[in-house]
Amino acid sequence: MTVSANYDAIAKCNKCGFCHVACPIFRATGHESGVARGRLAMLRGLIEGRVEWNHELEDPLFTCLGCGACTTNCFGAVPTADLVLNARSEYFERVGKKPAHRLLFEHLLPYPKRLHLAARAAALGKNSGASKVAKAMGLLRIFGRDLPKAEGIVEKLPTTSFRGTTRPETYAGQGKDLNIGYFVGCGVDVIQVDAGAATFNSLKRIGKSVTVLNNCCCGLPPWSYGDIENTKVLAEKNLKVFAEADVDVIVTDCSSCASFLKEYRKVFAGEPQKLELVEETRKKLRDVVEFLYTAEFGASGDKEAAVVDSYHDAHGSGSAAVQAVMKNSGKTVVTYHDPCHAVRGQGIKSESRELLKSIPNVEFREMAEADWCCGGAGSYALTHYDLSQKVLDRKIGNLKKTEADILVTSCPACMIQLAWGIRKHGLNTKIFHISEMTAYKEGLTA
Amino acid sequence: MITDSFVKTMEDIVGKEYVRSSEADMELYSYDASLIGGKPGLVVFPGTTEEVSKVMREAYKAGIPNVGRGFATNLSGGTIIRFQGLVVVLSRFNQILEIHPESKYAVVQTGVTNLEIQEAVSPLGMFYAPDPASQKVSTIGGNIGENSGGPRCLKYGVTSNHILGLKMVLADGEIVDIGGPSLDPPGYDIRGLMIGSEGCLGVATEITVRIVPKTESVITMLAIYDDVSSAASTVAAIMKAGIVPLTLEMMDNMIIQAVEKGGSCGYPIDAAAVLIIEVEGITTGLKEQAEQVNRICMETGCREVRTAKTQAERELLWKGRKGAFGAICNLSPNYLVNDGCVLRSDLPVVLDRVKEISEKYGCPVANVFHAGDGNLHPLLMFDSRNAAEVDQVHKAGWDIMKICAEFGGTISGEHGIGEEKRDAMTMVFSGHDLNTQRRVKKALDPKDLLNPQKVIPLVPEGSDQLPDTKPTVLKRLGGETASGVGEAMAAIRKAAGEKKAVRIAGKGTFNGFGNALKQEVVVLDSLNMTDFIEYDKDNQFITVGSGVTLEALQAKLGGENQWLPIRPPFCDGATTIGAVVAMATVGPERLAYGAPRDLLLGLQYIDASGSMVSTGGRVVKNVAGFDMTRLLTGSLGTLGFITESTWKTATRPEICKKISASGSFANCFEAGLNIVKSHLQAALVTITPGEGGQATLSAGFEGLEMVVDSQVERCSEVMKSAALSVDGAEQYPLLEGYLGSAFAALWAVPFTLQADVVISQGADFVSRLSPIARPAELLLDAAHGRVYAGFDALTGEQWQKIDALAASCKGHCRLLKAPESFAGEHDLFGASRPEWRLSHLVKQALDPHKVFAPGALPGRI
């Protein structure tokens, strides 16, 4: 779809400017290129011939985090993030795509095994201090110019991926009758393997069976880059995996994946024969936050209601890492960061807080601007390092004010970014995936 | 013309990353929230006032037009610069620098949004009153430039009423501090002139705003109507009943539909109109007031009144109202919004005319507006992709402005003139009025580089001024035809012709005020200007000749149970209104009612050429042109002979009661501050010293008896808790107040000092004053940090020390009264202040031959 095809949606912006206050990038730069109104003005300029397709468009088109905060703040709900990433694809056609993106999108993300291998190589390189090896392999360099600064963000990569130890197959659970599919996002698979383990254990306690899916990347990274063709390749592969798995629900502990998987219909707009399957799959998809919330506080659905009982019967070992942070006496202060793809992508907000408040000896303290983007935005932190750091600094400033002992979220990309921010600012706050927190709680009842 | 070397200079000043010049960037700075567009040549992002100064100095040298820009939510094209000009983006000025709840002020950078100020001061129990609907995203710098209003300004007044000081960069790059945390700095009200000047006179980088304690309770009601005219009659009826709600906002069916389409905010989709009515105050009596409002609504054809039960419900209603402009995109891609202001009693008929215009040009209209202020916001819908629609909508907009002027209103209540309404200025101003405003612009921006071609219509080619035409639509009453004016015009012309200076007088209350005149003058008085030109009790304003006495004015208003809510110190019933305007004299009751600068809506005056000049008008919100009304108010007769003034009037309070307590001066002061920062709504809080180091604290409360009694009761608790012994409460007369004898005593001695310092340092100033010169009489206006002191004798050295003491308390002082011998040798306004230079530039531009009271001004110009 070309930019011109979206003329009506773009012309809907009447330049009232209310998006300025919501846009983390604008608040960091103060530049009109970094806000929905400006991005839409650019697109309109392109359509009306006042602006040319050239490299000058890079800022307005590629500094968007895609967090969607502008749309929430817009009375016309102009879907700027979608319109911008749509324009990115035309930009690639007209101005050109970086070969680096090609490598990632076409050769790595569709193949979990290749990704595991690449990650393992990078991990060995980093952990042994020979990060030059990783660089030489070109794995991380694909993200673009800001890499040398960005490399410090991922502190330490595990040497074994989650699915390297927990093979994609069906495992027996302790629950009564729910068959769960576990969609393992790339982040959890190769970086937050502990969160993956916590989620997996929780799912095993709840479900009759848990199938670790042999899925590939959900497709969000190429989609965000406007690379629709490669997105389709990934989405089709995943739909096939979903269709073959005999499961009642598909749960993922990455809010970005969850949000995008639920939106597959955007990828296949105009292909009605695929939409039926997409719709069927969508009904089964659960963000782990909503799934655990249902387990804890009850559900409206029929089969899932059974989950509640089995969940409360479940006992586990708990998360040792969380245990270590929880105070022996008095309350431990916990706060929550809303991933964009959870709060705006899926409308999940209160569930996470209820889950955290239900943990004994936790004082939940709301963070200012909790639903603001952290600047991670998938690989954004790697491609636009300086800008993403400004957004992050604002976030960490808000975190600091809460004086929280623990920061919780539900998106691996956010976790990487936030952990880096905490380290950079020298805070003592520890960060955990919400699955790890619930695993800890389960351990208490053991 | 922007050259490569100019770009390089800019990069050297602000750093390369903060200079943008690509085509794409120029496109991004070619628009604001209005329909006006135009590409600049360069965009810079300075980070400090010094950088702004350097940028502007270079632009001045190179002759490059420039405009300061915040987040560009401007609705009149005010932030658009053409001619390949320079955009000075102030978005990096995003810090809140100081908050002083005790002294009721905060200092913020210009790029901070209005809402960020609210959020910063709210935890301290304070708020900043102006709340434009765009407050989430409009910056305080932009609010200053436009003199923004908002729903709450029905009760609290507009931006100009709440700004205390500005750090500004002038056209040539000079940095100057104007005003500050202490009230009423000597010299012209340059701050008043700057506010609403739409970036044409300077660029503000730091702003000192007044903040006030939050109110105890608020009740939000949604009144639902089946027809618009009933809603309009409710508005008129509420105001007529003497109630001043916090807000009185109207939305019609079309706007309700637009808003509800974007997500429900709780408005009934079938209503022809709704009113959002809020009343606030101390809890006692508020429910009764809400019930009274409810009753009035139902009596004037309301279908139903709903009351917001929770804060969330209240916020949702406001979310819809404040997002209404943006929500139009749910009905149509673009809108043109007018913001004319008319008398609220004219609303129903003006709305009908707006509808006719909308039909005539085929642009559907949605109405959302500040009904209590008579400030319309008809949103004309169209699609900017269709050239014919654009043409039609501009014509419709023009006709709506005409209607507003025809009904005696104004073309812009709060959005500004900018480029969009520039040519409509001739509807409400004469050519001479506009030339006068041009002279002010030229005085401060001689090269016409600051936001050029805005606000004032362009002069015809080959001429350096506009033709001297009458306003094309607005009919102003009074003026030359009022009694006594023609003679005064002739007398000024005669004096000017003979190169004689004149001094304006009334009954003589303030004769001799100001620096001693060094030359012989012709005295002209206003005593024949005794016309009551217009009095509209329903719309609550009055226009009177300058020779009308306070007594006569209050008597006239008293007939309708109204009054002019001022008790100017040192005046009596015989004092003329003209003197009050020229002196801008104000007593401690400004806490409740404001000062003359807050109450005056418009003026007419005779200038140095003997011609009439009109400023402002008769509607409560008016941002058409530079704020000449405030410039003239308090100008001590040095800019012109003010012949008539238009004032807001108020309903008389049911009762006035003061409560007094005694104790140490320190305890009195502490209690005084506690009263000021509490939820109590005192009209004035004063301290007078007594015997043996003791002092008396008094607080006056004025309003409904039930509310006053409750406040007096609570006030006595505050007094007791500061270890004061409460002397008791008593009623006082409305017009005289309770300070008549104190002011008389202050005026009976040879020297009378008025010092203004920051509120929290009032006691400090008083205690440090005595060692310099022991006052014979003293009065502290605790709520404003104003000290009046009377001295039997004062030396030049003591005066200098007192002046320095005031400066050390972030304030200033003046001698209201001094013997001629003293006045001949000393400047009665104290040591020179940098901002006086601006006063002198304005004086030079408007009275080049020094006709009016030469030498009387601070700095002896």
Secondary structure of B286-340 in HEC code, one letter for each residue = HHHHHHHHHHHHHHCCEEEEEECCCHHHHHHHHHHHHCHHHHHHHCCCEEEECEC
* Range 683-702 of B in CB contact (< 8 A) with A: none
CB contact under 8 A, A21 and B111: no
- Write phi, then psi, for A220 (nearest 5 degrees): -60, -40
- Closest CA of chain B from A342, distance in Å: 20
* Tokens at A177, concatenated: 């009758």
CB < 8 Å to A76, chain B: 262, 326-327, 329-330
Please enumerate in sequence order all residues whose Cβ is within 8 A of that of A113, keeping only pairs 6 or more positions apart, or say none. Answer: none
B134 CA: distance to closest CA in chain A (Å): 8
Q: Give the closest-approach CA distance of B21 to chain A in angstroms.
A: 11
CA distance A94 to chain B (A): 16
Average pLDDT of A333-354?
A: 93
The DSSP H or E segment spanning B239 is helix B228-240
Interface test with A, best of B79, B329, B335 (most A CBs within 10 A): B329
Between CA B811 and CA B805 the distance in angstroms is: 8
Size of interface A-B (CB pairs under 8 A): 101
- Residue A305, pLDDT score: 46
pLDDT recorded at residue A153: 57
Domains of chain A in start order, with CATH, are: 3-95 (1.10.1060.10), 99-153 (no CATH), 162-309 (no CATH), 316-444 (3.40.50)
**Assigned CATH class of B4-89:** alpha beta
Q: Does B53 touch chain A (CB under 8 A)?
A: no
Q: Which residue of B has its CA nearest to A78?
A: B329
CB contact under 8 A, B91 and A30: yes
Residues of A in contact with B329 (CB under 8 A): 12-14, 75-76, 78
Task: Inspect the interface and report whether the beta carbons of A76 and B22 lie closer than 8 Å.
Answer: no
User: CB–CB of A139/A115 below 8 Å?
Assistant: no
**Which residues are B99's β-sheet partners?**
B106
Query: Residue B24 and residue A60: Cβ atoms within 8 Å?
Result: yes
Are the Cβ atoms of A17 and B328 closer than 8 angstroms?
no
Contact B94 A30 (CB under 8 A): yes
- The model's pLDDT over B632-656, given as tens digits with 9 standing for 90+, comes to 999 999 999 999 999 999 999 999 9
Minimal CA separation from A83 to chain B, in Å:
17
Do residues A413 and A195 lie in contact, with contact meaning Cβ atoms separated by under 8 Å? Answer: no
Name which of A10, A16, A61 to mutate to probe chain B: the one with the most chain B Cβ atoms within 10 A of its Cβ. Answer: A16
Phi and psi for B473 in degrees, rounded to 5? Answer: -125, -50
Q: Which residue of B has its CA nearest to A51?
A: B24
Verify whether the Cβ–Cβ distance A14 to B383 is below 8 Å. no
- Tell me whether B113 touches chain A (CB under 8 Å): yes
Residue A296 has pLDDT above 70, yes or no: yes
CA distance A348 to A343: 5
B20 in contact with chain A, both atoms CB, cutoff 8 A? yes
Cβ-nearest to A75 among B33, B45, B323: B323
Residues counted in chain B: 861
Who among B28, B92, B113 is closest to A33 (CB)? B28
Cβ–Cβ contact B329 with A under 8 A: yes
Q: Which residue of A has its CA nearest to B46?
A: A30
What is the per-residue pLDDT for A300? 47
**Distance in angstroms (rounded) separating the CA atoms of residues B817 and B495:** 28
Select the residue of A11, A50, A56 nearest B22 (Cβ to Cβ): A56
Nearest to B205 by CA among B141, B259, B267, B147: B141
Burial of B350 (0-12, 13-18, 19+ CB in 10 A): buried
Note whether B96-213 and B479-651 share their fold. yes
How much is the mean pLDDT over chain B? 95
Residues of A in Cβ contact (< 8 Å) with B113 = 21
Residue of B nearest to A39 (CA): B28
Q: How deeply is B381 buried, as exposed, middle or buried, from its count of CB atoms within 10 A (0-12, 13-18, 19+)? A: buried
Q: What residues in A contact B25, CB-CB < 8 Å? A: 33, 56
Q: What residues of B are in contact with residue A20 (Cβ under 8 Å)?
A: 71, 73, 137
Query: Of how many residues is chain A composed?
Result: 446
Q: Measure A79 CA to nearest chain B CA, in Å.
A: 13
Residue A379's pLDDT band, with cuts at 50, 70 and 90, is low
Tell whether the model's pLDDT for residue A366 goes beyond 80: yes
Residue contact B333–A51, C-beta within 8 A: no
Q: In the predicted model, what is the mean pLDDT of chain A? A: 82
Say whether residue B563 is in contact with chain A using an 8 A CB cutoff: no
Residue A140 has pLDDT above 50, yes or no: no
Query: Does A30 sit within 8 Å of B45, measured CB to CB?
Result: yes
Average pLDDT on A423-432 reads: 90
Question: With contacts defined as CB-CB under 8 Å, which chain A residues touch B23?
Answer: 51-52, 56
Chain A contact present for B111, CB below 8 A: yes
Distance (Å) from the C-alpha of residue B210 to the closest C-alpha of chain A?
24
Residues β-bridged to residue B650: B563
- What is the predicted ipTM? 0.90
Query: What is the DSSP annotation of A320-383?
Result: HHHHHHS-SSSPEEEEE---HHHHTTS---HHHHHHHHTSTTEEE-PPTTTTS--S-TTTHHHH
pLDDT in tens, A38-78: 999 999 999 999 999 998 898 889 888 888 899 988 888 89
Query: Tokens 């949004």 — which residue?
Result: B113
Do B579 and B596 touch, CB atoms closer than 8 A? no
Contact list, B115 vs chain A (CB under 8 Å): 21
Q: Does domain B479-651 have CATH number 3.30.465.10?
A: yes
User: Which residues from B are below 8 Å from A41, CB to CB?
Assistant: 27-28, 31
Q: Each residue of A388-411: pLDDT tens digit? A: 889 999 999 999 999 999 999 998
- Residue B335's closest chain A neighbor by CA? A14
- B209 is written with which tokens? 């705003």
Contact A74 B28 (CB under 8 A): no
- What's the pLDDT at A155? 55
Q: Is the pLDDT of residue A308 over 50?
A: no
**Nearest residue, CB atoms, B24 vs list A12, A15, A56:** A56
CB–CB contact B330 A15 (8 Å): no
Inter-chain CB proximity A33 and B329 less than 8 Å: no
- Name which residue leads in pLDDT, A152 or A34: A34
The C-alpha atoms of residue B352 and residue B636 are separated, in whole angstroms, by: 44
Rounded to whole angstroms, how far apart are CA atoms A294 and A352? 11
Nearest to B25 among A15, A33, A75 (CB): A33
**CB pair distance less than 8 Å for A14 and B33:** yes
Q: Nearest by CB to A16, which of B29, B45, B325?
A: B325
CATH of B96-213 among 1.10.10.10, 3.30.465.10, 3.30.930.10, 3.40.50.720: 3.30.465.10
Asked if B328 has any chain A CB less than 8 Å from its own CB, the reply is yes
Going from N- to C-terminal start, the domains of chain B cover 4-89, 96-213, 479-651, 655-825
pLDDT band, residue A127 (cuts 50/70/90): very low
Question: Per-residue pLDDT tens for B85-108?
Answer: 999 999 999 999 999 999 999 999
**Distance of alpha carbon B625 from alpha carbon B446, whole angstroms:** 18
Domain B655-825 = CATH 3.30.470.20: no
Residues of chain B with pLDDT under 70: 861
Nearest to A16 among B24, B94, B326 (CB): B326
Give the SS3 label for residue B432.
helix
B780 with B787: CB under 8 angstroms? yes
Per DSSP, the three-state class of B377 is coil
